[in-house]
């Protein structure tokens, strides 16, 4: 089954001083408060994060729900904003492969894929024996997912005490934390170009297609960055 030593090693990685726990908690407190404001009850808010666990997708869901969008429109909107999870999975799961591990672990634990857990795994995978990287990953994922769920519940419960200014303050925490984490993980020309070009092209493509801007900006920047990396080698 799951190697408990590696599982807890991963689980404890969110305890470090500069772990994503604070940013994650702030963002999901804001989501919990938002879900309450749009009419979700406590159980529904809990299950929203439990089953989705993807902040931008949940924001799109909330916005679409408010304007009474159809289910198919919600599906497309969420799929588009969360499509980033596909390249994230493709660029991480090959690092966790082991013939000694069962497949169900990979398909179940992919639910834990989020910016926070992905960046921790990309930073730490070399320190873990190949065979047990998936157990380490399940540990990281369980910890970050639990923080998100508990924070959603907390946000729901304290929403009446959060002023508008405090909600705005909470909303900036997530992009700041992950932007700093991204620029901190730049280790070569290819990744550096990816981050810089992605930062410019994402909003640039918004002017052409607000719905597709993340995919257009991300893929075009990534392809250019890949060739920049190849040229540099």
Partner 1 sequence: MSNLSSNIILVIAVTSIATYLSRSFGVLFSEKIDEHSKIFKLFDCIAYSTLAALISKVVIFPAGDLVEAGIFLRIGVVFLCVIAFYVFKKNLVYPTILSAILLTVLIKII
Q: Which is nearer to partner 1, 5 or 200 (CB)?
A: 200
Q: What is the 3-state secondary structure (H, E, C) of 156-193?
A: HHHHHHCCHHHHHHHHHHHHHHHHHHHHHCCCCHHHHH
Shortest Å distance, C-beta 78 to partner 1: 4
Strand (E) or helix (H) holding 115: helix 115-124
Q: Is 65 in the site for partner 1 (CB under 8 A)?
A: yes
Shortest Å distance, C-beta 157 to partner 1: 18
Q: Which is nearer to partner 1, 100 or 164 (CB)?
A: 164
Cβ atoms 194, 152 nearer than 8 A: no
**What is the footprint of partner 1 within residues 141-170 (CB under 8 A)?**
164-170
Q: Is 9 in the site for partner 1 (CB under 8 A)?
A: no
**Phi and psi based region of residue 34 (left: phi greater than 0; alpha: psi -120 to 50; beta: remaining):** alpha
Q: Which is nearer to partner 1, 5 or 38 (CB)?
A: 38
The CA-to-CA distance between both ends of the chain, in Å, stands at: 41
Interacting span for partner 1 (CB under 8 A) from 2-10, 82-90, 142-150, 153-161: 82-90
Strand (E) or helix (H) holding 114: none
Q: Is 124 in the site for partner 1 (CB under 8 A)?
A: no
């Amino acid at each position: 089954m799951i190697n408990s030593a590696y599982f807890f090693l991963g689980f404890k990685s969110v305890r470090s001083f500069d772990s994503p726990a604070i940013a994650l908690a702030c963002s999901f407190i804001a989501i919990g408060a938002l879900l309450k404001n749009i009419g979700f009850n406590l159980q529904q808010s809990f299950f929203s994060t439990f089953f989705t666990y993807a902040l931008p997708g949940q924001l799109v869901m909330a916005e679409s729900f408010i304007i009474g969008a159809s289910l198919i429109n919600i599906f497309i909107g969420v799929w588009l904003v969360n499509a980033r999870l596909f390249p994230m999975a493709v660029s991480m799961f090959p690092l966790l492969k082991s013939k000694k591990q069962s497949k169900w672990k990979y398909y179940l634990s992919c639910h834990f894929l989020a910016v926070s857990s992905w960046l921790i795994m990309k930073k730490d995978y070399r320190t873990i024996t190949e065979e047990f990287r998936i157990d380490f990953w399940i540990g990281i994922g369980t910890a970050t997912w639990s923080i998100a769920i508990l924070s959603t519940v907390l946000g729901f419960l304290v929403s009446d005490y959060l002023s508008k200014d405090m909600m705005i303050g909470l909303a900036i925490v997530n992009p700041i934390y992950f932007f700093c984490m991204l620029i901190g993980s730049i280790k070569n020309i290819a990744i550096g170009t990816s981050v810089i070009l992605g930062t410019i092209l994402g909003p640039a493509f918004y002017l052409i297609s607000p719905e597709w801007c993340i995919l257009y900006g991300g893929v075009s920047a990534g392809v250019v960055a890949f060739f920049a990396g190849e040229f540099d080698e």
